Each structure stands twice: as C-alpha cells, then as structure tokens.
Amino acid sequence: MTDIREEVLRLSAALVAGMAIGLNRDLRHKPTGMRTLGLVSMATALVTMASADFSATVTDLNPASRVIQGVLTGIGFIGAGVIIRDKTTGEVSGMTTAASVWITAALGIVCGLGAWTMVLVAGTLTLAVLTLGGHLERALRRYAAKGEPAPAPERASQSDGPHQPGR
C-alpha cells in the first residue's frame, strides 16, 4: 500500500497531464477538452493504482497487467466516438482527438504506476506533437505541392449546364 501523499501525487499528476492535453484540444475547438481528458487520465491512474495494490495481496501478480490491457482496449471505444467521416467528401476528422484520448489514458496509467520520468517525457512529447504537429503537416503539404503541377480546373461545356456533383 502506498503512502497517502504518493497517492495524491499520482492522481494529481495524472489529472494535470490530462488537463494539459485537454487544454490543447479545447483551444482548437475539438470535441474533448480539459475536463474529459483530465478525468480519463485520472481514472486510468486510479484503476492502475488499485490493481497494483490488489496484486500485492494475492498470489497472482498479473492483475495490473490485465487491468491496463482492459483500460487501453476500453478507452479505444471512447476515442472512436469522436472520429467522424463526412459522407459527402469521405474526409475523416477526429483522429488526433481520439489519439489524444488514448495517450491521456496511457499517461494516467503511468502516473498510477509512479513512473515520473516517463510521465514527464511522454507528456512533453505529446504536447509538442499536438502544438507543433499541425504546423509541420501543413508546411510539408505546401512543400510537397510545390513539386507537383496544380490540377487543371474542370470546365463544363455549354451544353452540359452547371456542374452537378454525383451525376
């Protein structure tokens, strides 16, 4: 059993890590935000801590592993709920938000285990990707587009009438 200060530290660190990622999502007007990701991270830390305490009282030392596997599988369903495919364009949105839910859960698990170096490194890298990744993607797309000629615009003949998609 861990000391109460350690428990408070682990749960608080998970909450702060999740809320930091959630703030990034809030600022970009995404479906999950500070409260959601803070709670996801803290909940996974709580479950991890509880399973670690439980494993100390029984002869089977694998319950924490099973709990972690279950949490990461289950959290995928929450992430899947924010992924949307536009029926008209076929574009998919929400993938980064879903990934942020998943990494937030993983950070919660790591906080629950008290692996502070991993929390710091993974949290920092996650925020760097969420903050700078979109800018980098756009810059690379612009760079790649410069090497290819732009497609010629489609022209409808006068007999065709106005362009009607899907016909």
Whether residue 71 has pLDDT greater than 70: yes
pLDDT (tens digit, 9 = 90+) per residue, 14-56? Answer: 999 999 998 988 888 887 788 888 888 988 888 788 777 665 5
DSSP 151: P
Query: Where do the structural domains in the chain lie, given as residue ranges?
Result: 4-145
Residues 6+ apart with CB under 8 A from 27: none
Whole-prediction pTM: 0.64
**Exposed, middle or buried: residue 127 (CB in 10 Å: 0-12, 13-18, 19+)?**
middle
Structure tokens at 14: 């998970």
Q: How far is CA 6 from the centre of its chain?
A: 26
**Cα separation of 156 and 50, whole Å?**
66
